[in-house]
Amino acid sequence: MSRKILIGVIITECHMAFHEEILRGIIAQSFRNKCDIAVIAPMHNFFIKSTHRNAEKNIFKLILSESFDGFLYDRNSFHDEETKQHIDNLLTRSGKPVMLLDSNDHKSFENTPVDDCDAFETITDHLIDVHGFRKIYCITGPKNNYISEERLNGYMNSMKKHKLSFDKSFFRYGDFWTEAAKDFAHQIISGSVERPEAIVCGNDVMAISMTKTLMSNGIKVPEDIAVTGCDASTEGYQFSPSITSYRRPNFQLGAESLRRLYRIITGKICKKVPNENGALRLGASCGCTESPEERHDLQKKSRINSTFESTMLYGDMLFDITNTDNIDAFADKLDNYTYILHKMNRLKLCLTRRYIDSTTGSDVNLSFEAGDEMKTVLSKASSGRDYSDLISFSSNDVLPAFSEERRYSSAYYISPLHYNDNFFGYSAVSFGKEPISFNTLYIQWLNYVNAALEQLRIKSMINSSMASYKTSPQKHSGIILNQSGICQAFEGFLSSAENSTPVCCISLELFISSASNASVSDEQRHKTIAELAEIFKSCILENEICGSWSPGIFCILTKNENRAHEIFSQIRTGFQNARFSHDENIRIDFIIGQYTIPSDEEKDIADAVYMATVNKLYTYTISDNSNENPQLEKLCTLRSRIMKNPELPWNIGEIAESLYLSKSYLQKIYKALFGRSIIEEMIFFRISNAKRLLSKTDMTITDISRECGYASYNYFVRQFKESEGISPSDYRTLHKKA
């Protein structure tokens, strides 16, 4: 038995009812023809200029895979011309036959059209024949767009057929989105356009936008103006009033386009699947009574989706899958949440070799090219997990399943896994014999997966960086220790110091932000900190201990009380000469603080580092013409106040007012500088204070909760457990000093 014909489908927004109907037709017809389907399905459309845009576009490189025999291309589903041209070029390079779905004429590709003209004529006929409207306006999609022009022609045909007069002021081109309909509605409201009896909108999105705008300005729909849409979306029927629309023959479009492409590839004519013709869907927006059966079906579907959505959004999925240290553990955790994907038959999570290497500490560029090595790290069927399928393969094969000899056909939705500019691989989901598409819940599910994969990668970078700092307590001079190493070395450092010699802790805090107020990626932040650590290490003398206490905070233990100024001068010079000091996109601030441990006080390294960060001596800003940062000064002072008195009822509004900043800007720059929000800082310092009191005093836990600013004992215990993983009483048992 030979390999089956593999058809690639290039489409976006697969979760929308309009596109799902097309996909149902394609898949149903492909199963009749015994073809395989690989839907290359990005999660988002590309007209939004997001940071994920470039990484997501990498999935289209699969077009160059040698496994495909031809492509169906829904060019209209992409709203960005640049992305369309990018896909056009890849399809042309592939050399495989391409069938467009209801698109404009293309110099290189065939096209399968659908009769949108008849759909709009039917809608307009309904307004005239059933409701008796005569003055009817029309707003369609973009000019010179095939669908837009066909729908406008249908409106005109109906008006001419009924011998109703109209001119160019009765119709206009739009965007198949919200803004054009909203602008048209405002023109009607303002009186610059004479009020019509009814408006035929290019699709349900435009109809909803039109209705919302009219009703919010006192014009009733349908009493004052009737509104209709097209494409019969779920959103249109759930809207109030429900939108009268036309159920386009999208299923038939998908099936017919597959049949025509199959004939081009094989030269054979295949049998058709039963047609699902278009029909008018009545709603309240034109004055009709909606169908109770359709309302019931939509409510049933909504209830099912809502159940699974609640399970994911309010469950532990995100926490569990991000709390892993390697890919195998991640896959095991994720396996527990595949049940959320309603009607899922098979799921495969395939990661690039580059990404897998990055989780072992390798510094690699997470790009993607056709032919790259992939590995399936999770293979799940509805019946259980398949460990035999965890294999490496070339992305030229798209999925190993497509190369297997099978009696049945398969259809997979292949979606990119990525975060910012980093491409991780792709997820492939199949619904078995059912010709359906995924819903919005799958998009959120994959967003969780992407966040977890990025977290795993960042953890490996930090662990790799920190591993280079580890050393034995006997060999720590001039080497940066991790927190555990500092604690071990601290005891030996104290025993070597004479009783009369003061022990000083000097802290260095780094704050990395973007000069343009954009976010700094975790990867950029960690790399910069690692470079700064090398400068810091060069300042340390033989008889001093230095270490990384936490990301962005370094400390030095010394017996010289005058070292803070020397270290500040050395680090300032080192930073000024460093290559990153010329990067205009990065702003780096640092603070030097010092705490001298009194000879009569019990010496605790955690307390010493804490007090050193509170007692700041010097601040400096890199990548700025001045060496002062007024905002940093304000926020450092604020942070010191929160550190010293975390139990106070800190109010962000009052803080912002005292600093002459807006609440949103205050929270944005605070988190950019310190890595935590003001509330997160307050909780962190409260819990730190609670840990100190639990380990060093005999105060009751109730008294400690009050001392730390908690009015509710139960809330304190819950927040402590969320932070530390154990209850306050268990923490006391583990850390109480005799």
Q: 462 falls in which pLDDT band (50, 70, 90)?
A: low
Closest CA to 646 of 719, 710, 712: 710
More confident position, 207 or 235: 207
Per-domain residue ranges for the chain? 116-248, 316-407+440-460, 468-628, 629-738
Q: Which of 178-187, 293-302, 587-596 has the lowest mean pLDDT?
A: 293-302
From first CA to last CA, the distance across the chain in angstroms is: 76
Closest CA to 128 of 152, 104, 101, 157: 157
Mean pLDDT score across all residues of the chain: 84
Contact indicator for 609, 549 with CB cutoff of 8 Å: yes
Beta-sheet strands, E only, within 565-645 = 586-597, 616-622
Contact indicator for 554, 507 with CB cutoff of 8 Å: yes
- According to CATH, the superfamily of the domain at 116-248 is Response regulator (3.40.50.2300)
Residue 195 vs residues 118, 190, 198, 199: alpha-carbon distances, Å = 26, 10, 9, 10
Q: 660: which DSSP letter?
A: T
More confident position, 453 or 535: 453
Q: Tell me the pLDDT tens digit for each residue of 612-639.
A: 887 777 777 765 444 445 566 677 778 7
Range of 35-49, 506-520, 541-555 with top mean pLDDT: 35-49
Integer Cα distance of 531 and 466 in angstroms: 13
Q: What integer is the mean pLDDT of 535-560? A: 80
Tell whether the model's pLDDT for residue 467 goes beyond 70: no
pLDDT at 476: 44
Q: What integer is the mean pLDDT of 566-577? A: 79
Integer Cα distance of 401 and 378 in angstroms: 14
Q: What integer is the mean pLDDT of 697-724? A: 88
**pTM for the predicted model, two decimal places:** 0.61
Containing H/E element for 582? none
Q: Determine the 3-state secondary structure of 549 from DSSP.
A: strand
Q: Which of 63-67, 375-379, 406-410, 522-526 has the lowest mean pLDDT?
A: 522-526
Q: What integer is the mean pLDDT of 270-293? A: 85
Containing H/E element for 718? helix 713-724
pLDDT at 472: 38
Q: 352 falls in which pLDDT band (50, 70, 90)?
A: very high
pLDDT at 516: 56
Residue 663 vs residues 495, 636, 647, 677: alpha-carbon distances, Å = 49, 17, 21, 12
pLDDT at 294: 67
pLDDT at 473: 35
More confident position, 297 or 437: 437
pLDDT at 50: 61
pLDDT at 163: 95
Containing H/E element for 440? helix 440-467
Integer Cα distance of 321 and 338 in angstroms: 12
Q: 245 falls in which pLDDT band (50, 70, 90)?
A: very high
The CA-based angle 642-643-645, given to 5 degrees, is 65
More confident position, 216 or 479: 216
Which parts of 114-220 fold into alpha helices (H)?
A: 116-129, 146-161, 178-190, 204-216
Structure tokens at 283: 């709603």
More confident position, 559 or 159: 159
pLDDT at 167: 92
pLDDT at 414: 97
pLDDT at 522: 59
**Residue 121 CB-density burial (10 A; 0-12 exposed, 13-18 middle, 19+ buried):** buried
More confident position, 415 or 498: 415
Integer Cα distance of 557 and 551 in angstroms: 18
Please provide the CATH number assigned to the domain covering 468-628: 3.30.70.270
Integer Cα distance of 119 and 137 in angstroms: 16
CB atoms within 10 A of CB 358: 25
Tell whether the model's pLDDT for residue 695 goes beyond 70: yes
pLDDT at 420: 78
| CATH class as words, domain 629-738 | mainly alpha
pLDDT at 417: 95
Containing H/E element for 40? strand 36-40
pLDDT more than 70, % of the chain? 84
Closest CA to 512 of 535, 532, 483: 532
Fold match between domain 468-628 and domain 629-738: no
Helix axes 146-161, 116-129, angle to 10 degrees: 40
Integer Cα distance of 477 and 474 in angstroms: 9
Closest CA to 296 of 208, 237, 236: 237
Q: 156 falls in which pLDDT band (50, 70, 90)?
A: very high
Q: What integer is the mean pLDDT of 124-145? A: 94
